[in-house]
Amino acid sequence: MPDRLDNPSAEFLERKLATILSADVAEFSRLMGEDEEQTLRIFRGHKQVFESLVAMHRGRIFNTAGDAILAEFGSAVEAVRCATDIQAALRTRNDQLPPSRQVKFRIGINLGDVMVHGQDLLGDGVNVAARLQTAAEPGGICISGSVHDQISNKLSLSFRSLGEMNFKNIQRPVRTFSITDAENRAAPPPTHHGVRSKPAKWIAAGLLLLMLLVGGSYWAYTVNERNNADHAPAIAAKAPPNKTPPQPGRTTELQPVHRGDKPTSPGAAATSAVSAGRFDGTYSGPICYGETQKEPQRCYQAKGTISGSKIVSQWTMGREKKVNMFLDGHVAKSGDLSIEIEMRNQADGARTATIDLTGTLRGGLITASGSFLKGRPATLSWRKDSSTSR
């Protein structure tokens, strides 16, 4: 009671555990200095995608200032899913711009205790998220150890430990992890773990010694064979011919490798994995429609299935005027995609719109962009579900 008398606003202050997502634009000052109007136009479009995806993942944006955005989530898993979807969607948008004009967000995520003051959140839980964001690469995501502990067994992502990092005005070091890039390539292990470096050196030395021994043996063998050929040509001439006749279907040449029903040459072994179903599985994520004069930016969650070279999906949108969505597309061996989405009224089956998209499939992530026939832009960012990953 004395605290409330001394500080009347204390009765409105409460604490809670929340996952905080903090984001800002890398090199925003440089981008603004070079072209203010274009930078603001791109940033506003990115921000609309950002806000739509936060809402889709049941988050809440509680503060924005300049190029910074703060959001809260009740789940660490949803916060990280949202962050990866945001970076994938924005990467698709940035790919349409020159490298020097791309607007890339850095994102930091922390799970901690925060203070609620009206609609705002305050405290170390928020500050740590903001500091983690500074450790992220442009277009990247850094998370605290508390977030990593919650999601490590729940999301099929790759992480790289950055160790315990000291941040400005944060009293204790923070266990920090970065989420690897969209293609899920494993990042190289940190070099400061000296314990692992010695075994690696011994292994390299052993391999080098083995290569020298094999090379020396092969050299001695070839010299010996040459000497025999020079000194015994008559013996070779009198050697009896091979009496074993060639048999049908047998040859000493290297045969094509067969995987499934499709034969491939040895040099095409890398691409045979595609025909064997490397891309097969279920993919899900956001599909976003760009802003127009009459319509705001909108994002929806959807999923599709890839089998062989085909990607297909069907889902329903809308509450009152329901629309059936039919997705059909082709996946090339290289991972390039072409997709067409038809929108048809559920009542009469009449087609109302068509979306054409092109993109790529890399590391289990589909990123595609395109537009409606009338010009409204659209993007699709789907990730392969972990339950269908090979």
DSSP string across 243-275: -SPPPTT--SSPPPEEETTEEE-GGGHHHHHHH
Total structural domains within the chain: 2
Q: What is the pTM of this model?
A: 0.56
Cβ neighbourhood burial of 192 (10 Å; 0-12, 13-18, 19+): exposed
Same domain, 161 and 288: no
Position 294 scores a pLDDT of 77
Instruction: Specify whether the backbone of 123 is left (phi greater than 0), alpha (psi in -120 to 50) or beta.
Output: left
Classify residue 139: in a domain, yes or no.
yes
What is the three-class DSSP state of 123? coil
CATH code of the domain covering residue 324:
2.40.128
Q: Does the structure show a pLDDT above 50 at 106?
A: yes
Whichever domain contains 78, its CATH number is 3.30.70.1230
* Domain-located, residue 321: yes
DSSP-derived secondary structure letter, 285 = E
Q: Give CA–CA dist 316/347, Å, rounded.
A: 12
Is residue 195 situated within a structural domain?
Answer: no
Same domain, 24 and 168: yes
Q: How far is CA 304 from CA 270, 287, 315, in A?
A: 25, 11, 9
Band (19; pLDDT cuts 50, 70, 90): very high
Domain boundary among 135, 164, 179: 179
**pLDDT per position as a tens digit, 221-240:** 554 555 554 444 443 344 44
Q: Are residues 33 and 169 in the same domain?
A: yes
Which residues neighbour 56 within 8 Å (Cβ) at sequence distance 6 or greater?
Answer: 82, 85, 286, 299, 300, 301
Query: Which of 156, 179, 202 delimits the end of a domain?
Result: 179
Pair 161, 286 in one domain: no
Q: Is the pLDDT of residue 323 over 90?
A: no
Q: How many CB atoms lie within 10 A of CB 367?
A: 23
Count of CB atoms situated within 10 Å of the CB of 331: 22
- Identify whether residues 142 and 28 lie together within a single domain: yes
Model confidence at 255, pLDDT cuts 50, 70, 90, reads very low
How much is the mean pLDDT over the chain?
78
Q: Is residue 140 part of a domain?
A: yes
In a domain, 290, yes or no: yes
21-35, 159-173, 186-200, 310-324: range with lowest mean pLDDT: 186-200
**98 three-class SS:** coil
Domain that holds residue 98: 14-179
- Of 140, 157, 179, which one is at a domain's C-terminal end? 179
Q: What is the per-residue pLDDT across 361-384, written as a single tens digit (0 to 9) for each?
A: 988 889 888 888 878 888 998 988
Beta bridge partners of 49: none
pLDDT in tens, 138-173: 999 999 999 999 998 888 899 999 999 999 889 999
What whole-number percentage of the chain has pLDDT above 70? 70
Structural domain contains residue 2: no
* Interhelix angle 36-56/76-94, nearest 10 degrees: 150
Asked whether residue 143 is domain-assigned, the answer is yes
